[in-house]
Chain A
Amino acid sequence: MTIEAYYRPETLEEALDLSAEYRSSLDIISGGTIAMPAINEGKTFPARVMDIRDLDLDFVESSNGERTLGATLTLTGVLEKIDEPFLRDAARHTGGWSIRNMGTVGGNLFSPPPLGDFAVALLALDAEIEVQQRDEQRWISLSEFYAGPKSTAIEADELVTAVRLPPIDGDTTYTKYTRSQEPARAIVTVAVNLERQDGVVETVRIALNGAGPHPVRMHEAEDILEGERLERDAIERAAEAAAEGADPPEDAIASAWYRRKMIRHHLSNALCELRNQEETK
């Protein structure tokens, strides 16, 4: 069947009512950059689609260094409203100009691998996701949100409405490695947020794209680095652990074998880059 209904609710209440009514038989789009290609190519034939772009969820709020980004904020919106370099870097590397004008922060969380180059930065910042359903609102960590291949921790009647970022402490680095000039799909994307005290790593979050079925944290590599100085041996061990622990997707862009090699290489480069940066207090 052609699509029976295309809903464009104007209030969150309306949207949540529709979600509650149709649950998993309702496809949700915001920018359209994930759902529309599949529909155009004849891969999916959804009966009902809800477009949430009119819900006024394209805001950025800041208080005490904490930022909250509305789910339908476009990547261009990120570049216009946020001057934090790490987030800007990630937004800049998520699609070409027209795609950035359409793709949204919330939608990027649902990108199939190896897409999701904004989400990987959010993961490195330990973002929290606001999830709403008709009678309930909750926050879950982005790590929890990624429940497994092709599945997330949200229910069929729930909507992702915002992303909350804690104040960014310490140093960050973002690298997207592609086969051709961007915009292009990632072979691997590396996002790191690291705090040091007198050269010793206190906390570090390493998030990778192209290393699993969704953006993933590399906890083993993080454990290796914590309590250590960013020196060659620790960097190499961490990069090795990440490469070994990864479960990279295999596609036309790169084999799993190659992605694993590149995870090691680019994570090691990213950590060297941080080593060479002066420690931010």
Chain B
Amino acid sequence: MKELRSVGTSVRRRDGDGHVTGQTEFVDDRSFPDLKHLHVVRSPVPHAEIEAVDTSQAEAVSGFVTALTHEDVPNNIYTILRLIDIGPNEEPLLAEERVRYQGEPIAAIVADTKRAAMEAASKVEVDLTELPAVFDVEEALEPDAPTLKEWGTNYFEYEGHECRRVRYGDVEKGFKEADHIIEERYQTSPIEQAPTETTAAIAKPESNGRFTVYTNTQALYFSLDNTAMIVDVPFSKLQFVGGTVGGGFGGKVDVIVEPLATLAAKKTGYPVQYKFTREEEMQVSSPRGAWRMYYKDGVTDDGEIVARQVTSYADAGAYNRHTPYAVTKHAANVGGPYDIPNAKFDCYCVYTTKQPSSAMRGFGVTPASFAVEGQMDKIADELGLDRWEVRFKNAYQNGDVTPHRKEVEDATLIETMQSAAEMVGRDLPPEYATMSSFKEQDNEGDSRV
């Protein structure tokens, strides 16, 4: 019988030989006769009315093939997560009357070479009237802030509420019962995923009326479906070829290059490549968003959290991308892996005149973890308790219910901390060294008592 066990052994990568010989085929390693190149004309300012777009100078550039504006896009306004019923549509593929962030696409140029496309793009004249910009999430929620959305606010609406809300127990009662109230403000910065290979797609018209789209997307079917909807062709008319991604880290989850490349291929009949320059990758691809989180915890003298209130603001930038979803995940995680009996969480998805933010490793969970663990340290320090102890004391166990009503089934915090303590040579008191995520293993019922 063949030995199939591979755990504990080193198994060679299937793609290892391709990588070390450079023969792994990335998107733009494909070449096609008559391949055309697309380059985008972008807004130079964060917020403005578009008065006019004039492509006549661009057309004179040698190698120019065509220009695309919003008028060429069958279904211009979209939002990526409409595929899982998140809406409404709010982002234009190419801007219409207004631009809402610096770098927002206004027009696209297709030309024989990337250089010709760039030069033609530099000659498109865009007449803009600047509008006031807003770069701070809390300022964006002020009544006098410039309004970015058609629906008249600067926040995403969750089932009729201005934020994603979590209510559990009675947080006010919890605060009254607490011996201490511990508050802090946490802020994270945007982070660019900076993949070594920039975002790219090549769309190629086929003789049977279909389009083959080679892409380095991290979300192949999200990209296919959204592209079909934007370009207004049946899903069956598109074949997406992906799989080889030169680094993504969440930065290639959005649907950005495929619709324009496909539209350009459809309009011109040529295969069209749209690949971000490095500067585009850094400046207009969506980064991990910035988050601001206000924590207020009610804590007993011995460090038990009896109530937690969190108000947090995700900076979505100008458009949804994946932020509404990230906020929902965030709301489920601001309590942390701790047992919180009374909770009130208000988590806002806020629009500002900045490049849209989106996914990066953790989708709103990472900033929550940063704030939660900062808060656990603060509780310990303010109460003069040991930081490990405060965490063991509040750690959730299987059977506990989190504030968003999820019964914990896979708790591992206690065991993880025990391992970590061992690795750093930290002796834990017996009550924590023998603690378990499984309450029922403990004869006395609750191992924390």
Contacts and interface: CB of A to CB of B under 8 A. Distances in A.
A contacts B directly (C-beta below 8 A) = yes
A145 to B, nearest CB: 29
> Which of A2, A40, A42, A45: most chain B Cβ within 10 A?
A42
Interface of B: 39, 61-63, 113, 115-116, 118-119, 121-122, 277-279
Contacts of A1: 61-62, 119
Contacts of B113: 2
A40 B115 CA distance: 8
Contact of A41 (B61, B62, B116, B279): B279
14 contacts: A1-B62, A1-B119, A2-B62, A2-B63, A2-B113, A2-B116, A2-B119, A41-B278, A42-B39, A42-B118, A42-B119, A42-B277, A45-B119, A45-B122
Contacts of B115: 2, 42
A2 B63 CA distance: 10
A251 to B, nearest CB: 12
Interface string A1-26: 11000000000000000000000000
A40 B118 CA distance: 9
Contacts of A40: 277
Nearest to B118: A42
Nearest to B280: A41
Interface string A37-68: 00011100100000000000000000000000
Given A1-B61, A1-B62, A2-B62, A41 B277 contact: yes
A1 B57 CA distance: 12
A42 B62 contact: no
Contacts of A45: 119, 122
A42 B116 contact: no
B121 A42 contact: yes
A177 B122 CA distance: 36
Nearest to A39: B115
| Residue from B39, B62, B63, B118 whose CB has the most chain A CB atoms within 10 Å | B118
A40 B278 CA distance: 10
A148 to B, nearest CB: 25
Main DSSP-derived SS at the A contact region: loop
Nearest to B277: A41
Contacts of A2: 62-63, 113, 115-116, 119
Contacts of A42: 39, 115, 118-119, 121-122, 277
Contacts of B39: 42
A32 to B, nearest CB: 16
A42 B62 CA distance: 15
A61 to B, nearest CB: 39
Nearest to B63: A2
A1 B279 CA distance: 22
B121 to A, nearest CB: 7
A161 to B, nearest CB: 31
A258 to B, nearest CB: 14
A21 to B, nearest CB: 24
A230 B121 CA distance: 57
Contacts of A41: 277-279
Given A1-B61, A1-B62, A45-B119, 8 more contacts: A1-B119, A2-B62, A2-B115, A40-B277, A41-B277, A42-B119, A42-B121, A42-B277
A255 to B, nearest CB: 13
B231 to A, nearest CB: 26
Contacts of B122: 42, 45
B340 to A, nearest CB: 38
Contacts of B62: 1-2
A72 to B, nearest CB: 26
A225 to B, nearest CB: 39
A84 to B, nearest CB: 36
A227 B115 CA distance: 58
Interface in A80-116: none
Nearest to B115: A2
Top 4 closest pairs, chain A to chain B, by CB = A42-B118, A45-B119, A41-B279, A41-B277
Nearest to A2: B115
Nearest to A3: B115
A246 to B, nearest CB: 25
A6 to B, nearest CB: 14
Interface in A111-160: none
Nearest to A42: B118
Contacts of B63: 2
B277 to A, nearest CB: 6
B285 to A, nearest CB: 15
Contacts of B277: 40-42
A42 B279 CA distance: 10
Contacts of B279: 41
A2 B117 CA distance: 11
A42 B124 CA distance: 14
A40 B279 CA distance: 11
B106 to A, nearest CB: 16
Nearest to B112: A2
Nearest to A44: B122
Nearest to B121: A42
Nearest to B117: A42
A42 B116 CA distance: 9
A42 B63 CA distance: 15
A42 B117 CA distance: 9
A42 B121 CA distance: 9
A75 to B, nearest CB: 23
Nearest to A40: B277
Contacts of B119: 1-2, 42, 45
A151 to B, nearest CB: 23
A41 B62 CA distance: 18
A41 B275 CA distance: 12
B181 to A, nearest CB: 34
A101 B279 CA distance: 24
